[in-house]
Amino acid sequence: MTDLCKGRVVVVTGAGRGIGRAHALAFAAEGASVVVNDVGVAIDGSNASAGPAQDVVDEIVAMGGRAVANTDDVADWAGAGRLIDTALSEFGSLDVLVNNAGFLRDRMLANLAEDEWDAVIRVHLKGHFAPLRHAVAYWRAEHKAGRAVNARIVNTSSGAGLQGSVGQGNYAAAKAGIAGLTLVAASEFASYGVTVNAIAPAARTRMTENAFAEDMAAPADGFDAMAPENISPLVVWLGSTQSAAVTGRVFEVEGGVIGVAQGWRHGPSVDNGSRWEPSHVGAAVEKLLASAETPVPVYGAR
């Protein structure tokens, strides 16, 4: 290891299992002090437990690192505040926030219940905003006090948010919102010394084992392209001081592949010079679509 994040204080949400756990261990291996946040729920958000967060803390301490557990609900305003306060009270500062927590309640939109929509939007989208908001309040105060800030936020979107995913309308909407939130936060926080980026990862986790069952099995030997640990090197680098010039980006990462997602942008257009007649719109749209790029298919579409 290279001590890439030596002396930095990192909060990782949803860090008790899967990708979040891999992030927490990877940051600790690079010298960071880590707040391991996890409410310890099942994949659908039920049955909270402090066990997963503490287990990861114990792993970090056993390897000679510094870590503390936090079991606050990141989508609860006061809980998100306590999470950030944990970093400040335990380690004296905060340098990196990795928003990773989430769960699934998959269902086709025609069958999706209101509470299933609300729960997923809450944990993913508000669960990103609330910690982000409390963290930037600290960094803005530091900046205004004349103290140098070299802080990082890494959000977690998804291919479902970038392309859509059949049977995951609530999850896809939340993850698309996270990508948009990332762009706005990157612009607004730049003057405080804070960069904001997002990842869209693909790896073997509790949340993906049903959607990508045929790809989930670990190989008997060789490189395991679906291991959660493959995602963390990019996140650790984004959390380091080396990434200061990178902000407002969404990175796709899977196995040994890192890519930059290119999202919504202005495409072909036509100016009528005056208000359109409805009967003339169809021909114009046909010409626009003929010259536009073909959309990437929605995951699971037939």
Enzyme catalytic residues: 158, 171, 175
Mention every residue, 6+ apart, whose C-beta is less than 8 A from residue 249: 197, 198, 260
Q: HSE, CB side, 13 Å, CA atoms: give it for residue 141.
A: 8
Mention every residue, 6+ apart, whose C-beta is less than 8 A from residue 67: 24, 28, 33, 34, 35, 36, 56, 57, 60, 61
Give the span between the Cα atoms of 45 and 68, in whole angstroms. 22
Cβ density class 193-227: b for 16+ within 10 Å, e for less: bbbbbbbbbbbbbebbeebeeeeeeeeeeeebbbb
DSSP 299: B
99, amino acid identity: N
Beta-strand runs (E) in the chain: 9-12, 33-37, 66-70, 96-98, 151-156, 194-202, 250-254, 257-260
What are 86's two structure tokens?
């944990």
In the three-class reduction of DSSP (H, G, I as helix; E, B as strand; rest coil), residue 193 is classed as coil
